[in-house]
Structure 1
Amino acid sequence: MKKNATVLLFLCLGLSLSAQWKPAGEKIKTEWANKVNPKQVLPEYPRPIMERKEWKNLNGLWNYAIQEAGKPAPAKYDGQILVPFAVESSLSGVMKEVGAKNELWYNTTFTLESNWKGQNILLHFGAVDWETEVWLNGIKIGSHTGGYTPFSFDITPFITGKTQQLTVKVWDPSNDGPQPRGKQVKNPEGIWYTPVTGIWQTVWIEPVNKKNITTIKTTPNIDQNKITIKPEIAGANYGDVFEVSIYDDSKTIATGKASVGEKLEIILNNPKLWSPESPFLYKTNVKLISNGKIIDQVKSYFAMRKISSKRDANGVVRMQLNNKDYFQFGPLDQGWWPDGLYTAPTDEALKYDIVKTKELGFNMIRKHVKVEPERWYTHCDEMGILVWQDMPSGDDQPLWQNKKYFEGTELQRTPKSEAIYRKEWKEIMDHLYSYPSIVVWVPFNEAWGQFKTVEITEWTKNHDPSRLVNSSSGGNHFQTGDILDLHNYPGPELYLYDARRITVLGEYGGIGLPLEGHLWKANDNWGYIKFKNATEVTNEYIKYANELKKLVKTGFSAAVYTQTTDVEGEVNGFMTYDRKVDKMDFEKISAINKEVIDALNHKSN
């Protein structure tokens, strides 16, 4: 009877928590908004490229307060917020602005699992925008700047009693500051969107040994049938070793050991190559061994693939995938949601846009001035989609020249602004290094925040020589990096050409179709050109694709169509912002997209 009463109490408590939360505002929402459960918010393991068995998700209803910057922690909170949805989003249950003059405070409690005794506890934040300070049980334990990469703290020394109290403070200046922010502005309109402040990716804890694996860096070399694996280890001593087992499905095909701090190179016999057509992933198990005892182990994966460039028989420098000419074609993907803003409502929703991109016949996505949660990149790895990863833009855009090589003065960023850029770009590249789907780094977009282009491009290339670098997408072109990237709206045009580098159409299209009942804004919606129905939009898309086919043969080696979905005031997506309507005939689009891709190898007329 006592047990039944306890169960009933927990059920009532759960129902009470659910009753306290509901999406805020009257804006359009995706179908996944109805599937958000405040007791199980984004429950999937947040770091599938390095997975441990034991972990605990801290997402859910926390207390929040918005108050003037510089004040001490609030004595009383304003209400509850659903973490990890940004405070400006509907799914947070709050939907309030913060701004540069205020700070956002969070407070919650959590308990540790009983079988974690004797282990170190790591507290992980997937991403928080932008400047974060963290307290545990009243003690400030750390801080972080940067809105797009994970950070963590070993909270073991600060744990007291059964229940732990976690307090987080966030300040985000939006477009009042020079920091990377992508499309966020205080007054969204046109191509600019709502600010995102605070926690927007999963918060979680996990138990580890004092000596533990922190990251795994994998570098494939298909020319030598070799994979290089180097884990980073915290707390290791001389004599500690790591062991890697590699699996093809469930079959062990290779193993190797190395001393901590060394690289492990493993030769694979007749390796299976990864591509969008055949996205094969090798599974791995990485063990940390000290004094003959396994003290940490994680599951991971890698792919054997190569991205490079080569001049073809006609003298055109082409992108190559696995040493073969390969035309990359995909949408500009903003990664925004009407209900969650930066954060997809569910993992199913996060995966959905990639599924639809494949359905459209594309083989690539340009992830535009945003970094996604780690699960998004794993979905790309598993489903087979190439990714161009933009650096989220920030600071100013004083001069933009796109029809000729740049002859003006680059942006003079302050030393502080430069330092922020370099720190965050390095962190993004390091964080995403081992995801095989990423094949191109894009440091600058349309002159926005663009400074010291040659230096930043060379530094990016030296930091990761395994990928191509698209130094300045869409303008302020310098003869540096691997790619000359042209933007042209609405139709494709080859108005500049570089015989020494890859030439690509980094943005075009933007065909608009506003659909009543699926609009973020009732009026003043925006597209480069607008039509009245799906047939007209599909026909216009096909017209541009036929033009693009000709330009593929004469010089373009990749193209990016704007865009995956409508976003706020923009109505130029393949889908509505709520993902409820496909705005073109996807079968016809898929067919013509495949013709464009095949045009490089002259498979179609």
Structure 2
Amino acid sequence: MKKLKTRWTDQVKESQGQVLQEYPRPSMKRESYLNLNGFWDYAIMGTKRIPDRFDGKILVPFSPEAPLSGVERQLRPRQVLWYKRILPREVRKENGKRWLLHFGAVDQFAAVYINKILVTKHLGGYLPFTADVTDALKEGENELLVAVRDFTDHSYYSRGKQKLAKGGMFYTAQSGIWQTVWMEQVPGRYITEIKTTPLFDEEMIEITVCSNRGGRFTVEISSEEMQPVEAKGEAGVPLQIPIQEMHPWSPEDPFLYQMTVTFGEDTVDSYFAMRKISAKKDEKGILRPFLNNRPYLQKGVLDQGYWPDGLYTAPTDEALEFDIKEMKRLGFNMLRKHIKIEPERWYYHCDRLGMLVWQDMVCGGRPYKRWYVTYMANAFEKINLRVTDRTYGLLGRREGKSREIFVEEMKETIRLLQNHPSIITWVLFNEGWGQFDAKEITAAAREQDETRLVDQASGWFDQAGGDFRSIHNYFFELKLRADKRITALTEFGGYCWRVREHSMYSKVYGYRIFGSKRELTRGYSQLMRKQIIPKLAEGLSVTIYTQLSDVEEEVNGIYTYDREMLKIEEEVLKEWNEQYDI
């Protein structure tokens, strides 16, 4: 294996531990903010006992498997990863004030202690959690301990594409803290959540402010084009505010409104956008996705969010932006965030830069039956045979608890990300991995959020629900079938070229192999000319090319894994993207 760096690797190494210092939650920002990223003590133990001695230093929030962590050790399912640090001196008890401790994500199970007092536990490696640690604080030094266990693919918990025996389309398993850890001080009565829902046709924004205790709030809305508008409401009760001379949000014009909410002594800054996504027939009677009541073709890229130096964690905020900016520069207008939930700053960058997002739910479950989920599923698709997804054992969802956890995490994912205007589609299942009861899950997703579209089953095991006939096609000539839903090619291409000096492995995984940039570019052009562009007039409305960058053995990226080489000619990518027209 060859170690790869990115252009940001050395910035992290030279930062003296001052990494990812940006405010981690732009949709709900307070002045009070303490970033806890940096060097922590760590130990990997074979028991749950608090270690007497630690193994060394780890750079949080990089997982111990990631080169940037400084550890590069794999946490095994029977081991416990311990973290320790002293909280900043500013963190002390004050009358009428509370201290909240936030974790962006910890994979998979975490127990958090302040001065050896348990303050919270959390299960789920992709979602944030918060603890009020005020009552556990003492005079002088306050010690923070975090214990982590990660079962990866040895249990049914959500794991995405992580695998302990990595290879091919499955990648290095990472564990522990992998998103920013931070604290903020709040008054005794404070805002816990803000929900914004654009009522586009009514030209109104609906705002719901949630709090730990009841009371009234004031919201002030402003933008570059309007004078500030003030309104008052009751916590927990939706408040609708007219938006005069409404300025719609789109990838071509990602216009954001600024918002400040005051609730007693608590003040939070946020933002929202006015946009609408829907499924309607165009003037030719073809069902299409409509953005702001106009048909809008989506030209997307599969985005897995892996990095050679940070694994799940982008080395810097600039790196997090890079992928979005580059795909937009090349003419794409959508990213499918594939089986991973990013830090909220990634979605914020999509909001302000103007990039549509299809958000996958993170898959889990026991190992599925490969012969059924891969080979038979492709055969079923070839002959247009629809089969049930209630075969729980074959699809890896035999345990009822596994299914319950997926539903809980799906709802929490939607709740977490619902304010981001860039997100227009929820993708529930991918290629049958851990799929079950898709019709019921779709209904639950719509109940949670009725303002977005739903891709019920991406690839195969289609249950005839959701808003899309969602096709994965790597090997056959693309043929469209009549359907009552939008036709979407949600994975295609996967063309490979291994650039030796920018690849980690000699082994190549992908769907068609080329030997040079020229050959790969020619192959991409032929694919677009013969199979994609002609299908747009026939009803194809969404395309998602695999993929944004190489990932380990999988070398089918538009960019190399280190983001140093664009593997397909820039002008060719732009030229074909310009031809998306109906």
- Aligned-partner Cα distance in 1 for 2:35–2:559: 32
Are the equivalent residues in 2 in contact too, given 1:389–1:442 (CA < 8 A)?
yes
Match of residue 58 from structure 1: 36
- 1:94 paired with 2:94, answer no
**After superposition, what is the alpha-carbon deviation per residue over 1:167-192, rounded to whole angstroms, capped at 9, x for unaligned?**
00111111111111111001111111
Match of residue 28 from structure 1: 4
Match of residue 230 from structure 2: 255
- Aligned-partner Cα distance in 1 for 2:421–2:63: 29
Tell me which amino acid in the other structure corresponds to 1:211. Answer: R
- The CA deviation at 1:425 is 1.1
- 1:322 paired with 2:292, answer yes
Tell me which amino acid in the other structure corresponds to 1:416. Answer: K
Match of residue 233 from structure 1: 211
Tell me which amino acid in the other structure corresponds to 1:254. Answer: V
- Aligned-partner Cα distance in 2 for 1:508–1:497: 20
- Aligned-partner Cα distance in 2 for 1:409–1:363: 32
- 1:535 paired with 2:518, answer yes
- 1:76 paired with 2:60, answer no
2:347 to 360, 377, 389: 377
- 1:107 paired with 2:84, answer yes
- Aligned-partner Cα distance in 2 for 1:249–1:158: 44
- Aligned-partner Cα distance in 1 for 2:385–2:113: 50
- The CA deviation at 1:265 is 0.3
SS in 1 for 2:68: coil
Q: How does 1:494-509 map to 2 (within 5 A)?
A: 494-498=479-483, 500-509=484-493
**After superposition, what is the alpha-carbon deviation per residue over 1:41-67, rounded to whole angstroms, capped at 9, x for unaligned?**
101000011111111100111111111
2:136 to 152, 158, 169: 158
Are the equivalent residues in 1 in contact too, given 2:162–2:174 (CA < 8 A)?
yes
Tell me which amino acid in the other structure corresponds to 2:157. Answer: Q
RMSD: 1.5
- Aligned-partner Cα distance in 2 for 1:405–1:442: 22
2:243 to 257, 268, 282: 268
- The CA deviation at 1:531 is 1.0
**After superposition, what is the alpha-carbon deviation per residue over 1:225-265, rounded to whole angstroms, capped at 9, x for unaligned?**
0100011111x23xx21111111138534221011221110
- The CA deviation at 1:112 is 3.6
Match of residue 314 from structure 2: 344
Are the equivalent residues in 2 in contact too, given 1:246–1:255 (CA < 8 A)?
yes
Q: 1:367 to 1:491 in 2, by over 3 A?
A: farther
- Aligned-partner Cα distance in 1 for 2:82–2:386: 44
Match of residue 292 from structure 1: none
- Range with bigger deviation, 529-538 or 338-347: 529-538
**After superposition, what is the alpha-carbon deviation per residue over 1:329-379, rounded to whole angstroms, capped at 9, x for unaligned?**
110000000000000000000100001110110000000000000000000
- Aligned-partner Cα distance in 1 for 2:216–2:225: 24
- Aligned-partner Cα distance in 2 for 1:496–1:336: 34
Are the equivalent residues in 1 in contact too, given 2:68–2:309 (CA < 8 A)?
yes
Tell me which amino acid in the other structure corresponds to 1:406. Answer: R
- Aligned-partner Cα distance in 1 for 2:385–2:191: 46
- Aligned-partner Cα distance in 1 for 2:388–2:432: 11
SS in 2 for 1:447: coil
Q: 1:483 to 1:296 in 2, by over 3 A?
A: same
* Structure 1 outlier segments of 4+, above 4 Å: none
- 1:334 paired with 2:304, answer yes
- 1:588 paired with 2:572, answer yes
- The CA deviation at 1:536 is 1.4
- The CA deviation at 1:533 is 1.3
- Aligned-partner Cα distance in 2 for 1:263–1:481: 27
- 1:436 paired with 2:421, answer yes
- The CA deviation at 1:122 is 0.4
- 1:482 paired with 2:452, answer no
Identity between Structure 1 and Structure 2 (%): 43
- 1:555 paired with 2:539, answer yes
- Aligned-partner Cα distance in 2 for 1:55–1:162: 20
- Aligned-partner Cα distance in 1 for 2:11–2:39: 16
Q: 1:105 to 1:496 in 2, by over 3 A?
A: farther
TM-score by length of 1: 0.91
Match of residue 575 from structure 1: 559
Tell me which amino acid in the other structure corresponds to 2:271. Answer: Y
- Aligned-partner Cα distance in 2 for 1:368–1:83: 24
Q: 1:241 to 1:330 in 2, by over 3 A?
A: same
- The CA deviation at 1:494 is 2.8
Tell me which amino acid in the other structure corresponds to 1:89. Answer: A
- The CA deviation at 1:492 is 6.3
1:526 to 498, 501, 509: 509
TM-score by length of 2: 0.94
- Aligned-partner Cα distance in 2 for 1:517–1:27: 10
Are the equivalent residues in 1 in contact too, given 2:338–2:359 (CA < 8 A)?
yes
**After superposition, what is the alpha-carbon deviation per residue over 1:86-137, rounded to whole angstroms, capped at 9, x for unaligned?**
1111011111111211111111112242798332100000000111101100
- Aligned-partner Cα distance in 2 for 1:508–1:457: 24
- The CA deviation at 1:222 is 1.1
Are the equivalent residues in 1 in contact too, given 2:495–2:520 (CA < 8 A)?
yes
Are the equivalent residues in 2 in contact too, given 1:225–1:267 (CA < 8 A)?
yes
Are the equivalent residues in 1 in contact too, given 2:92–2:139 (CA < 8 A)?
no
Tell me which amino acid in the other structure corresponds to 1:259. Answer: E
- Aligned-partner Cα distance in 1 for 2:151–2:574: 41
Q: 1:253 to 1:591 in 2, by over 3 A?
A: farther
Match of residue 172 from structure 1: 150
- Aligned-partner Cα distance in 2 for 1:52–1:115: 18
- 1:407 paired with 2:391, answer no
Are the equivalent residues in 1 in contact too, given 2:211–2:235 (CA < 8 A)?
yes
- Aligned-partner Cα distance in 2 for 1:592–1:491: 21
- Aligned-partner Cα distance in 2 for 1:314–1:410: 37
- Aligned-partner Cα distance in 1 for 2:477–2:303: 18
2:270 to 294, 297, 300: 300
1:288 to 232, 256, 263: 263
Are the equivalent residues in 2 in contact too, given 1:527–1:572 (CA < 8 A)?
yes
Q: 1:168 to 1:57 in 2, by over 3 A?
A: same
- Aligned-partner Cα distance in 2 for 1:245–1:492: 54
- The CA deviation at 1:405 is 4.3
- Aligned-partner Cα distance in 1 for 2:385–2:450: 25
- Range with bigger deviation, 408-417 or 302-311: 408-417
- Aligned-partner Cα distance in 1 for 2:150–2:385: 35
SS in 1 for 2:261: strand
Q: 1:74 to 1:474 in 2, by over 3 A?
A: same
SS in 1 for 2:122: strand
For structure 1, the 5+ residue unaligned runs are 1-24, 290-294, 601-605
- Aligned-partner Cα distance in 2 for 1:73–1:424: 29
- Aligned-partner Cα distance in 2 for 1:250–1:320: 26
For structure 2, the 5+ residue unaligned runs are none
Match of residue 311 from structure 1: 281
- Aligned-partner Cα distance in 1 for 2:220–2:85: 40
- 1:220 paired with 2:191, answer no
